[in-house]
């Protein structure tokens, strides 16, 4: 998108663009250090009493409990390379998870009504200050598109001079319409079908809009009972929302933080309220050589089998993946104090090599040592570090090279020397050993080739699969 020319001077005209909201989600992540979903759930939805809104998932096995089935008249080519085409358009015609901040939420009509009511505090504490609401709804200054118009686009809402706010939206399999009226009403309509063509969609939205206004205008008295109390959200733990995994890439390879989990290797899970404590397993947690499947009432299921829990904290958990799942899309969930998260889909692979890494300065370095155990790193930014000299042997620590036995503190040896290749600075390094040394942890002993001084890229390849780019090793002759 950065390569696309501007269509007009910013701030002078209007064009509806989902991409701007996608960028806004990334800004929120950069500013807060949290995932977009995590930040919104904790700081926007939880204060409104909403715990069950989530970013949606594309594939049907990732649907939330009680989520509707989406209907569409046509099929589409799958955007997933491992899901055969054609697919029903709502289930693989696009990647739902990437839509997070431009409309990717799954919600009930009840929870969305709570959200709209909370903005100005029509029910309970107001979420936005009066000046913020005024800024959100005012006609954009300098945008000639709206000159003389009775309606305009504010910050994420259509607004008119009467003081009504509204929005509609649709995808294959869903159509939505929300209206916040100037006389105290909130109307929310969520459908699991949007019509076969643009004309059908326009007629649908017009019928919803006129139908609701006409119906409300004929009512002479409203019941006084509060239906919100009959439809509460899921129970919450203490004062926080229930545990939840981040939908978009919330279950990832523990070394690369990317896709590709492997049986017996390390997995990292990100989310909200995943634990009330922060710790790793201790010697007492390992009984008769068996690794723990629970720490402090926190447990993890991968594809229906318990994982082995090494580290827990409110927003991150590290586990060793169990055995028994094949490559493809598998489910993951966390249970904390008996409350489970919904299933999140993650991509499993036969191998997904990645060096363990650490950050120093602006660089991502591979976790590597000399044969004597000294950390490899630029000593000017890594205290106690040394450069990797060409001709010397470095020991690189990695995960995901291949499937390995899970759940035991002393897994059987797994030698992968003949299958493993390493390049440093684009030059092959001689491998003297590559194999499993402890649960889920692989060691690669490689001789540094004759490359130039500097932070050189490190790539691990096994069975044709390469580790992700962006990892370096500090070399100096």
Work out the mean pLDDT of the chain and round it to a whole number: 93
pLDDT tens column, 319-340: 999 998 999 999 999 999 998 9
Residue 237 in this model has a pLDDT that exceeds 60: no
Residue 80 near residue 131, CB atoms below 8 Å: no
Q: Which residues on neighbouring strands pair with residue 446, listed in sequence order? A: 394, 431
> How many independent structural domains does the chain possess?
3
Residues 190, 208: one domain? yes
Looking at residue 154, what is its pLDDT? 92
Residues 65, 177: one domain? yes
- Arithmetic mean of pLDDT, 429-445: 97
- Arithmetic mean of pLDDT, 73-92: 92
Looking at residue 235, what is its pLDDT? 59
Segment (H or E) for 167? strand 165-171
Segment (H or E) for 252? strand 251-253
Residue 73, domain CATH: 3.40.710.10
Band of residue 436 on the pLDDT scale cut at 50, 70, 90:
very high
Q: How far apart are the first and last CA of the chain?
A: 42
Residue 375, domain CATH: 2.60.40
Per DSSP, 388 falls in state B
Distances (CA, A) of 283 to 215, 289, 290: 67, 10, 11
Gap between the Cα atoms of 370 and 68, Å rounded:
56
106 within a domain of the structure (yes/no) = yes
Query: Which residue, 348, 373, 407, sits at the end of a domain?
Result: 348
pLDDT tens column, 94-151: 999 999 999 999 999 999 999 999 999 998 899 999 999 999 999 988 888 888 889 9
238 within a domain of the structure (yes/no) = no
422 within a domain of the structure (yes/no) = yes
Residues 26, 121: one domain? yes
Band of residue 201 on the pLDDT scale cut at 50, 70, 90:
confident
9 within a domain of the structure (yes/no) = no
Those residues whose C-beta lies under 8 Å from the C-beta of residue 309, and which sit 6 or more positions away, are 281, 291, 292, 293, 294, 295, 298, 299, 300, 317, 318, 319
Q: Which residue has the higher pLDDT, 82 or 296?
A: 296
Gap between the Cα atoms of 273 and 337, Å rounded:
11
Q: Which residues on neighbouring strands pair with residue 357, listed in sequence order? A: 366
**Residue 173 exposed, middle or buried by CB count within 10 Å (0-12, 13-18, 19+):** buried
C-alpha angle with apex 213: 209 to 219, nearest 5 degrees? 150
> What's this model's pTM, rounded to 2 decimal places?
0.84
Residue 442 near residue 477, CB atoms below 8 Å: no
Query: Which residue, 294, 329, 348, sits at the end of a domain?
Result: 348
Residues 112, 211: one domain? yes
CB pairs under 8 A, 24+ apart, for 92-97? 92/58, 92/59, 93/172, 94/58, 94/171, 95/58, 96/55, 96/56, 96/57, 96/58, 97/55, 97/56, 97/57, 97/58, 97/247, 97/248, 97/249
Residues 248, 392: one domain? no
Residue 371 in this model has a pLDDT that exceeds 80: yes
Domain of 144 in residue numbering reads as 18-217
Residue 238 in this model has a pLDDT that exceeds 50: no
Looking at residue 411, what is its pLDDT? 95
Choose from 183-187, 277-281, 379-383 the range with maximum mean pLDDT: 277-281
Residues 173, 204: one domain? yes
12 within a domain of the structure (yes/no) = no
Residues 328, 464: one domain? no
Looking at residue 366, what is its pLDDT? 96
- Arithmetic mean of pLDDT, 140-169: 91
380 within a domain of the structure (yes/no) = yes
- Of 34-38, 90-94, 371-375, the poorest mean pLDDT is in 34-38
237 within a domain of the structure (yes/no) = no
Band of residue 439 on the pLDDT scale cut at 50, 70, 90:
very high
Looking at residue 369, what is its pLDDT? 97
Residue 236 in this model has a pLDDT that exceeds 80: no
pLDDT tens column, 2-25: 898 988 888 888 888 899 999 999
Band of residue 418 on the pLDDT scale cut at 50, 70, 90:
very high
* HEC sequence for 259-311: CCECCCCEEEEEEECCCCCCEECCHHHCECCECCCEECCEEEEECCEECEEEE
Residues 271, 389: one domain? no
Query: Which residue, 316, 348, 380, sits at the end of a domain?
Result: 348
- Cα within 13 Å of Cα(55), Cβ side: 26
Gap between the Cα atoms of 70 and 408, Å rounded:
43
Residue 302, domain CATH: 2.60.40.10
Residues 78, 193: one domain? yes
Gap between the Cα atoms of 314 and 389, Å rounded:
41
Residues 321, 380: one domain? no
Q: Which two tokens stand for residue 354?
A: 């990645």
Looking at residue 339, what is its pLDDT? 87
Q: Which residues on neighbouring strands pair with residue 302, listed in sequence order? A: 305, 332
- Arithmetic mean of pLDDT, 20-47: 92
Band of residue 241 on the pLDDT scale cut at 50, 70, 90:
low
Residues 187, 41: one domain? yes
Residues 82, 205: one domain? yes
Residue 252 near residue 349, CB atoms below 8 Å: no
Residue 20 near residue 306, CB atoms below 8 Å: no
**Shortest CA distance to 134 belongs to which of 157, 150, 113, 111?**
157
């Amino acid at each position: 998108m950065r390569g696309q020319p501007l269509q007009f001077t910013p701030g002078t005209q209007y064009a509806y663009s989902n991409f701007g909201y996608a960028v806004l989600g990334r800004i929120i992540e950069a500013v807060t250090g949290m995932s977009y979903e995590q930040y919104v759930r904790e700081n926007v939805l939880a204060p409104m009493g909403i715990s069950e809104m989530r970013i949606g998932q594309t594939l049907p096995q990732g649907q939330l409990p009680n989520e509707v089935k989406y209907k569409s008249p046509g099929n589409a080519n799958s955007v997933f390379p491992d899901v055969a085409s054609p697919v029903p358009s709502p289930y693989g015609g696009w990647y739902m998870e990437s839509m997070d901040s431009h409309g990717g939420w799954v919600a009930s009509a009840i929870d969305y009504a709570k959200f709209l009511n909370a903005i100005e505090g029509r029910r309970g504490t107001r979420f936005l200050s009066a000046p913020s609401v005024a800024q959100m709804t005012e006609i954009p200054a300098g945008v000639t598109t709206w000159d003389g118009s009775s309606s305009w686009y504010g910050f994420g809402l259509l607004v008119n001079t009467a003081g009504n706010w509204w929005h509609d939206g649709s995808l294959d399999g869903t159509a939505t319409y929300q209206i916040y009226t100037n006389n105290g009403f909130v109307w929310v309509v969520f459908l699991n079908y949007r019509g076969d063509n643009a004309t059908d969609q326009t007629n649908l939205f017009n019928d919803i809009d006129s139908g609701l206004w006409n119906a409300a205008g004929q009512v002479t008295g409203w019941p006084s009972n509060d239906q919100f109390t009959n439809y509460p959200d899921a129970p919450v733990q203490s004062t926080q929302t229930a545990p939840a995994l981040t939908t978009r890439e919330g279950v990832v390879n523990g070394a690369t933080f990317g896709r590709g989990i492997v049986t017996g290797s390390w997995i990292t899970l990100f989310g909200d309220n995943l634990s009330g404590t922060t710790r790793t397993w201790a010697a007492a947690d390992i009984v008769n050589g068996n690794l723990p499947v629970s720490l402090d009432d926190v447990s993890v299921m991968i594809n229906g089998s318990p994982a082995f829990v090494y580290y827990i904290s409110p927003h991150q958990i590290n586990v060793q993946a169990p055995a028994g799942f094949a490559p493809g899309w598998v489910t993951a969930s966390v249970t904390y104090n008996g409350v489970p998260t919904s299933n999140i889909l993650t991509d499993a692979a036969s191998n997904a090599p990645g060096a363990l890494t650490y950050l120093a300065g602006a660089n991502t370095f591979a976790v590597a040592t000399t044969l004597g155990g000294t950390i490899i790193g630029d000593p000017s930014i890594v205290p106690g570090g040394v450069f990797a000299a060409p001709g010397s042997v470095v020991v690189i620590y990695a995960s995901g090279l291949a499937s390995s036995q899970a759940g035991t503190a002393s897994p059987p040896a797994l030698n992968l020397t003949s299958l493993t290749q390493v390049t440093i600075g684009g030059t092959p390094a001689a491998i003297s050993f590559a194999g499993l040394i402890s649960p889920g942890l692989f060691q690669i002993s490689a001789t540094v080739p004759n490359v130039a001084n500097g932070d050189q890229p490190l790539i691990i390849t096994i069975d044709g699969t390469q580790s992700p780019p962006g990892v370096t090793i500090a070399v100096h002759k």
